[in-house]
Chain A
């Protein structure tokens, strides 16, 4: 299990880390190791921005950061910070902002709604509904309210569904590259 050892030796460099995790993801018999699962999800989360077009008005300058908000529970245990460190989406640096609750004015561009007692996932989603935010949830198909991107596990692999209609409501465009990888896509009208 070279790959596993590899995964355990996650390097400082984000790219190397992501690649290792990605490699992990298609290991044939991925064990139900939640830390590995969340490492993969963190890597995904850091990459979704690449395939998203925000309206120009969403940023003050081309160099303004893309803010990745983690609202409520943070399941990533620091791996997210590692993969995001030094990442850029185009010229925009990618930064992480954590908060208990999210509002319209939290300045989020990507929102991972982890949910909390103060603000359950559906409320968090409702809070940014209609703003240019790519919402990401991890409902694992449990029937809860899902964001635009919703992680699921299939055949021991991390996959996701995309609600393109919701993306349209939020005024953002998701690249077809990303759509093509989704398990299911709820199309725009």
Chain B
């Protein structure tokens, strides 16, 4: 039955219709045949009886008076009925008075003498013998031989009719069923087409919208949902891949910016006679390092929802917008001016904007990305509009931040795909990460993002945050960064010489005694030697990711030698471990790179 399963559904259904029709009509035919053959005999017998009766009545006088000519005349009239094969009129004494036989009828159909009254079937013939009675006198009898159609002939006749009926009903039923089937098979074919496009990797298949509620409707809408969740999964998968990849990059960047962070903080702390401008520069450097750290941290965590330790703070988006304008001025003002292109900046900031809860660096990052995109979209210049406003939706206050440009705009495909990691319209210049990052940030803030765009007219991207009544928290009193009063003997283990140097420099300024080791093994050796020489370290600070012997092994070795010595693990892998709360065994503190001086000092003060 291979051919059956390979048959298109449309034809299967037509086949079903044909078979149903045929079976129904065969059944009807069988019933009709059975019924009519049951009735046929009775009907025929009745007919013949009536014919004999009529014939007898007309033959009465000829029979009584033995009028052969008259009798013959009546009998000959029977040739009008082709079913009558033979007829005989018998006188009262049983002698054959007159007879008739149809042309070509078998001879000897009539008995020579009158036979007893009655009917019987014989060889597809019905014989009737009927006495003729007049005024109470039996004056003779009639013998009729009538052809009876054999069953086979009747079957053929009914079969022919049936065939006609089947053909007729199929002529009606098949086009109707084809039409009905189209409603099933067309929808299935559309889904199949969509599915094959999905197989080829095109997830942006649009299914024909349907309001059907039957199984096909359910299939279409389920398929649509499946596509949507597939798109979602692909997005997640890309983010995860990106996260894994960027994790390694993050480690390196965190290591790289560690000295910058440490030196900048140290300079700002120690150099009291810096000119305000220089101080401003350093502050900017510090902020940028913070942003870089935050960016790198987020890069690894695309796939993760809100980080548990991400602390939301009340933010004024108006202030943030102004900061971002300053940060990006070079991009939209200076650089563009140089190329003779003018980008006009407009800000429409709503006064009395409610605060929103968020992470400042993240939202700054998101807005920066949006501004870069807007500028890139206006190679011929245009107007960049940054606006904020308060909108009430369903009884809840929302704060909108909108970045709008009058640039080239996006087509529908671009608009749909712009959040996909690595999707870029900027060719080599773009990373395809900007909008993905924005999307991640928006997700983490439980905010919403809406894009309106028309090709040639521009794009506006709106972020919508839920407004919050600010919780008045005690403003953290800036801890005067006092150098630790006590000197500690500290072993720093790290495979990155710049990190080692900067750490040593900064901590030495605080008055600690620093010993450095540039690998895990060296660190363990140094610690053991010092311990046995009676010059034990008060604290060991070790990097986590090092070749051959990593931070965990260093920590285990240190604890083996001196269980009471605190071990601080510095990691360039970001905040992840802190977040998961899985500080490894043998580690007393976990700090992420680039190290924050205040944080470091706090930890060290703890062991002083």
| Residues of chain A at the chain B interface (Cβ within 8 Å) | 15-16, 18-20, 22-23, 25-26, 44, 47, 49-51, 87-91, 175, 177-178, 180-181
Contact = CB atoms under 8 A, between A and B. Distances in A.
Interface stretch (B62-70, B193-201, B248-256, B507-515): B62-70
B61, B135, B136 — which one has the most chain A CB atoms within 10 A of its CB? B135
Contacts of A19: 66, 91-95
Interface string B64-98: 11111010000000000000000000011111000
Given A89-B135, A177-B60, A181-B70, A47 B65 contact: yes
A189 B165 CA distance: 60
Interface of B: 58, 60-62, 64-68, 70, 91-95, 134-139
Contacts of A91: 136
Given A23-B91, A175-B61, 9 more contacts: A15-B92, A15-B93, A16-B92, A19-B92, A23-B93, A25-B66, A49-B135, A51-B61, A89-B136
Given A15-B92, A16-B93, A19-B93, A26 B136 contact: no
Contacts of A177: 58, 60-61
A22, A50, A89, A178 — which one has the most chain B CB atoms within 10 A of its CB? A22
Nearest to A88: B136
B68 to A, nearest CB: 5
A45 to B, nearest CB: 11
A18 B68 contact: no
Contacts of A49: 135
Contact of B134 (A26, A50, A181): A50
A-B pairs, 10 with minimum CB distance: A22-B66, A19-B93, A177-B61, A50-B135, A19-B91, A15-B92, A90-B135, A47-B64, A89-B135, A50-B134
A177 B58 CA distance: 7
Contacts of A20: 93
Contacts of A16: 92-93
15 contacts: A15-B92, A15-B93, A19-B91, A23-B66, A23-B91, A26-B68, A47-B64, A51-B61, A89-B137, A91-B136, A177-B58, A180-B61, A181-B61, A181-B62, A181-B65
A19 B97 CA distance: 10
A91 B58 CA distance: 22
Nearest to B134: A50
B409 to A, nearest CB: 110
B76 to A, nearest CB: 15
A175 B65 CA distance: 14
A89 B554 CA distance: 146
Contact of A26 (B61, B66, B92): B66
A25 B97 CA distance: 12
A63 to B, nearest CB: 12
Contacts of B93: 15-16, 18-20, 23
A50 B137 contact: yes
Contacts of A47: 64-65, 139
Nearest to A47: B64
A89 B138 CA distance: 11
B604 to A, nearest CB: 148
Contacts of B68: 26
Contacts of B70: 180-181
A175 B60 CA distance: 11
A175 B67 CA distance: 16
A131 B135 CA distance: 22
Contacts of B136: 88-91
